[in-house]
Amino acid sequence: MHRCFAFCLAVAVVLSIPHLYAQIELVQITPPPQRRAEPPAPNASVDELDARGDELRAQKAYLDALDYYRAALAKKPSASLYNKAGITELELRRDKESTKDFERAVKLDRESADALNNLGVAWYLQQKYARAIKQYEKAVKLKPDVASFYNNLGAAYYGRKEWEQATAAYGHALQLDPDIFERTSRTGVTAQLPSPEERARFEYLIAKLYARQGETDHALQYLRRAMEEGYPGISDVYKDADFEGLRKDARFAQLMAAKPPAIPE
């Protein structure tokens, strides 16, 4: 099976909207976005503009949504509006513009964990991993019970090849949300990794974390993926303490005996 990593980029991580997870859509080579809605009415209230912007963003009319958020911001700047504008800019892959919006949101509300996390996302997408880590760490201090924040932190550490820190952050994410990697792994850090070996290392790491938690089915699933990606250190599974319980499962022996071939690029 051929996997497309060059032209289909599923960008990195989970954005924060209060009580919701929002992920960026796949970026395809498509015609430029067009405005489809009427421009904001000059006499519309901030609440009306905000609500209409939300509607348009839900419809993926991102340019129109930005028009409404900008009109609302012109009337009354707020951290919430800047955060929404930043998310919309990211949907359009205007990463630098989104960074400015999130920075303005944080300046207005330094306790906004969502805006801090999203600023981290913007830096991550620009491969400014140290800056992303700084924002993510602020976010997790404010909201230590949000799995996506730790997942993002792990991705940034992974980008810096700081495996121990990445493992710790991913472990926290998994404890808070056992299914988080099922939702984010294929549209998360793996999309940012240029080589099959790096992707394979990531799959092996996630298998370790699931095995450590006793999540046998998920551990086997990710171990298979690591083998399919051609992870060169797969023999470590026989001596790694995290896989001790998994090695007792009959399906482990079957998987290792089958040796799933690496999937070509």
Residue with tokens 């489809």: 36
Q: Are 26 and 6 in contact (CB under 8 A)?
A: no
Q: How confident is the model at residue 262 (pLDDT cuts 50, 70, 90)?
A: low
Q: Give the separation between CA 110 and CA 83, rounded to whole angstroms.
A: 12
Q: Where are the domains of the chain?
A: 14-168, 193-265
SS3 at position 254:
helix
Percent over 70 (pLDDT), the chain: 81
Give 157-178 as a DSSP string. Answer: HHHTT-HHHHHHHHHHHHHH-T
Q: What pLDDT is attached to residue 186?
A: 47
pLDDT tens figures, 26-57:
344 456 677 888 999 999 999 999 999 999 99
Q: Give the separation between CA 177 and CA 184, rounded to whole angstroms.
A: 12
Q: How confident is the model at residue 77 (pLDDT cuts 50, 70, 90)?
A: very high
**25: nearest Cα among 122, 90, 97:** 90
| E strand intervals along the chain | 14-17, 20-23
Q: What pLDDT is attached to residue 182?
A: 78
State the architecture of 14-168 in CATH terms.
Answer: Alpha Horseshoe (1.25)
Q: Give the separation between CA 130 and CA 253, rounded to whole angstroms.
A: 40
